[in-house]
A and B are shown apart, each in its own frame.
Chain A
Amino acid sequence: MIISKLTLHNFGIFYGQQSLDFGPGLYIVRGDNGRGKTTLLNAVRWALYGHYEDRQGREVPPEVILNRDAYREGERQFSVELVLSDGEDRCLVRRSQDIVDSTSTHSNLYMEKNGQALTSGERQRYVNQLLSEEISPFFLFDGEQLQRYERLLTEKDGSLIKHSIEQILGLPVLDNALEDLRNVRDELGKRLAKQARQTLQLEQLGGRAEQAQADLEIKDAELADLEAQTDSQVAIVAEQDKILQRYESSIDQLKSLETVEERIRDYELQRTMLRHQLGDNLRDAWKDILSVAVAPKVAELRSRIEKESQALAAQALREQVEKTLGSGTCIICGTELDAEHREHVTEQLALLAPDLPSGNDTEQQNAFVNLSVLAGIANTGSARRAIDLDTKMGQLEADEVTQRQHANKLREDIQNLPEAEVRWAQTERDAAQREIGRISAAVDVAKQERAVIEQKLTNAREEIRRAPANEQQKYLSRAIDIAEDLMGVFDQAKVTFRDELRESVESEATRVFRQLTNEPNYDQLDINDNYGLEIIANDGSIVIGRSAGEEQVVALSLIAGLNRNARRKGPVMMDTPFARLDEEHRAHVLGYLSRMADQVFLLVHGAEVRDEDLRPVASTIEEQLFLQRDDTDRTSIVVKNG
């Protein structure tokens, strides 16, 4: 399939009607930033799917899509028309939107295939068949949104993308055949049971077969209902994922904020504890400071007390001696003093008298009181501990300020995050996931019950076949056999075909990857069940932590692999695909583009691809288109051949 014609009418930056015709081949669309390259990509997306999202994944409102000049001139409608050619088929897609007033818009999609208008159901089916929205990011490629591709390729539950890719690859032909064969087999079975009831001896068997058939239909309806429930829950998950992905970086910042706030609370708690400890230590810290000044005073008091004690003792002794001399009798032992003793005692008294100060009880008491007070003012280490605690608190305070600044920055960054909406989306998503699990268990039970009923039906049919039968019954029995054999063959072939397709996509993607990469240590790409791709190094290990450029090369390789294996070849439109590629990769990709698909559009700005970059591939370029600013600041598309 290729885009044969694209007509824009007051769409985005494109004023009035601008129309372009295309054939197969490589088209280079060049324009500076803001000239409408991404608008062209979005125009194709909008025409096919009715969605126009900005690069943050937010839906762009119709009044913003409508060209501003046109709006000022009173125009209230914009539209995109695509003509798609697929072999002999020609399909027209025309989507338009009227802005009735500031609160009301009216959207209209018209499609025709080979001149025949399609009904609304046919339109949706046909668009899905041409290029389903899930798979479209691989064909309508926005290089600025590379992280989306990574997510598509690495998401754990890749069932949506897998389903879409298999549609592109053509697996539904075998799936549909199986479904049709099952219906044909059941229809033939009903006719056989009806035939059997006409023969008396087979009536009972026919009744059993009919009953089993009816039960089977009820069970199938139950299963279909469960599948529909699953689809609806999967749609909820996808819808909520879209919201969650849109705010992914803000959600990460919100989580960081929660961590930082937790840390701040922790700091506050630690500081409160330290403050209490500091208070306790400060109560005694004055002693440490005073103890320095008090120490000499204590020593002096001690010395004075000692001296006072000595003086008092000497005074007591002198009094005793004086009393002894006065009475002539020793007051201790009562012995009478002779002249010799009296002389000796008198000499001793003379010796005591000049040196000794007179003892004073009051002074000594005061000295004792002062000493007992001052001796309590000793160094306890509290002041040192208080200083340490204060330092620690200062550090904590500084850390806390840093964290508070970080928290404020995070709050500024996420101020536009609709927190309630995000939390609701997460809750809804989780609930839908749980519901999917519940339904899946119910499906397993229903399938087991269905298998039992089917076995009953098979047994009844087998008995009917073994019973005497007329010609009609014989050929119906044979037809059922053929239908069942075909079902077995298609079922088995489906598994083989799916594996072959996956291998073929892997092999083609690897072939292209080898041409595009400049890393000699990379050997091949490895595809998983969901068509996610891993890079395998020469030593057989999986390359982890791929760079943005490598991610882009892998995505381009998958696009090439899908295109080569697709039932229908889609046009490939790439917006700013080289932003993350180095010069060598860029040259490789440019050289390969014309072989990537039947029709390739490369949307680039001047710095991304220069004239000299295009010279080596000039022969592969069908046309170059320039998005140019005219005198009225409007964008016009200028075509330059080759």
Chain B
Amino acid sequence: MTDVRPDPMLALKAAAVQRGVSFTEEFLRKVVELETQATNQNLERPMVQATLRNLIETAAKAET
């Protein structure tokens, strides 16, 4: 069966452009994949948030 589902990545990329925020696609994809995995596997939220915080802090450190 062909997958006809809308892609959340496309919606995120469009929103980033509209808001004038520049995130790399790789960064956005990592966040979405983390959240998708967390939702599908019912991962504990504190663990997911720690991973997300690391992602964000790494990106911030790289910039400053």
Contacts and interface: CB of A to CB of B under 8 A. Distances in A.
Interface string A566-584: 0101000000000000000
8 contacts: A125-B42, A129-B42, A180-B52, A187-B53, A475-B63, A478-B63, A488-B21, A493-B11
A12 B38 CA distance: 39
A76 B23 CA distance: 62
Contacts of B31: 177, 486
B35 A173 contact: yes
A483 interface: yes
A184 B45 CA distance: 11
Interface in A173-223: 173-174, 176-177, 179-181, 183-184, 187-188
Given A492-B18, A493-B11, A180 B48 contact: yes
Contact of A181 (B4, B39, B40, B52): B52
Interface of A: 122, 125-126, 129, 170, 172-174, 176-177, 179-181, 183-184, 187-188, 471, 474-476, 478-479, 481-483, 485-486, 488-490, 492-494, 496-497, 500-501, 504, 508, 564-565, 567, 569, 595, 598
Given A170-B39, A489-B21, 6 more contacts: A174-B8, A180-B49, A188-B56, A471-B64, A478-B64, A492-B18
Contacts of A496: 11, 14-15
A489 B8 contact: no
Q: Across chains A and B, which 10 residue pairs bring their CB atoms closest together, nearest first?
A: A500-B6, A479-B60, A492-B15, A478-B60, A493-B11, A493-B15, A497-B11, A177-B35, A496-B11, A493-B12
Contacts, number: 117
A37 B45 CA distance: 42
A88 to B, nearest CB: 12
B31 to A, nearest CB: 7
Interface residues of B, number: 35
Given A180-B49, A478-B63, A565-B5, A483 B39 contact: no
Contacts of A598: 1
Contact of B6 (A486, A489, A497): A497
A595 B8 contact: no
B8 A493 contact: yes
Contact of B39 (A176, A184, A501, A564): A176
Interface string B8-50: 1001101110110101000010011001101110100100110
Nearest to B36: A173
Nearest to A182: B49
A476 B48 CA distance: 19
A180 B46 CA distance: 8
B7 to A, nearest CB: 9
Contacts of B35: 173-174, 176-177, 180
